Amino acid sequence: MAALGSTAPNNLLTTQGLSRNFGGLQAVSNVNFDLPEGQVRALIGPNGAGKTTFVGMLCGRISASAGRVAFLGEDVTLLPAHKRISRGMAYTFQITSIFGRLSLRENVALAVRRRLAGHPDQVQGEVESALSRVGLLDRADQIADDLSYGHQRLLEIAMGLGQKPRLLILDEPTQGLADSEIADFKNLIRSMAGQTTILLIEHNMDVVMEMADFITVLNFGEILAEGSPEQIHANADVQAAYLGTG
């Protein structure tokens, strides 16, 4: 794959010198990151590598200590999370953020209405489409709190899909899923290939190696390596730091 430059016209999202300090702790340090439109990018690294902090800065939930974030060619470094959502970002959390007392249908409708304000006649169809894509349409009227943890993760993905995002950030989406549900999740990602840019933060290396077009490895808040799944699997530094085979 050709090198990805920050000035490339097809980059949906870029960061330059992105850093975050928490007191004396440097959680993320001087990260330059380019995400081309339509790519499935995996972000991996050991626990404490800075992945959640980095993604928090991308989506506006954590402010940067230094550096900048650009999305669709616009500097969004100082924009709050809800304004980044309105520009086409959707982020599903490592810990589910659903509305437990509402039905699945009502949860997804909240996301869809944000996008389809002024078009209420289209909401129902969009809600059912999103639930169908994650395999939850038959549970549409069930209360969200009654779902298993794995199904709550799928509901959250449906809420993200309901926003029709340009960039979908998935934080540990397969955590708590059964093997059959992971297979369905892979099919979902395949169905979105080329249509939605996906940033996947994931510990399941089988999922990463099968689904990602390109992988970025963080370690101690810095980019340790980037490349294709084959290149990352063969990288001695990555093996030593993360894959445990060095």
Q: At 124, which amino acid appears?
A: Q
pLDDT digits (tens, 9 = 90+) for 187-228: 999 998 888 999 999 999 999 999 999 999 999 999 999 999
The C-alpha atoms of residue 137 and residue 125 are separated, in whole angstroms, by 11
In the predicted model, what is the mean pLDDT of residues 156-175?
92
Taking alpha carbons only, the member of 50, 159, 43 closest to residue 96 is: 159
Helix, strand or coil, per DSSP, at residue 165: coil
pLDDT for the residue numbered 244: 59
pLDDT for the residue numbered 7: 43
117 — pLDDT class (breaks 50, 70, 90)? confident
The model's pTM? 0.89
The C-alpha atoms of residue 44 and residue 219 are separated, in whole angstroms, by 9
- Which comes out higher in pLDDT, residue 12 or 246? 12
The C-alpha atoms of residue 202 and residue 157 are separated, in whole angstroms, by 14
Residue 153 backbone dihedrals phi, psi, to 5 degrees: -65, -40
Do residues 227 and 74 make contact, with C-beta atoms less than 8 angstroms apart? no
In the predicted model, what is the mean pLDDT of residues 122-135?
95
What does pLDDT average to over the chain?
A: 90
- Residue 67 in this model has a pLDDT that exceeds 80: yes
Cα–Cα distances in Å, from 234 out to 114, 229, 230?
A: 44, 9, 6
pLDDT digits (tens, 9 = 90+) for 22-48: 988 999 999 999 999 999 999 999 988
In the predicted model, what is the mean pLDDT of residues 46-59?
94
The C-alpha atoms of residue 192 and residue 207 are separated, in whole angstroms, by 15
- Residue 4 in this model has a pLDDT that exceeds 60: no
pLDDT digits (tens, 9 = 90+) for 140-154: 999 999 999 889 989
- Residue 2 in this model has a pLDDT that exceeds 80: no
Q: In this predicted structure, which of 141-145, 232-236, 240-244 has the lowest mean pLDDT?
A: 240-244
- Residue 1 in this model has a pLDDT that exceeds 80: no
- Residue 246 in this model has a pLDDT that exceeds 80: no
Percentage of residues in the chain with pLDDT exceeding 70? 93
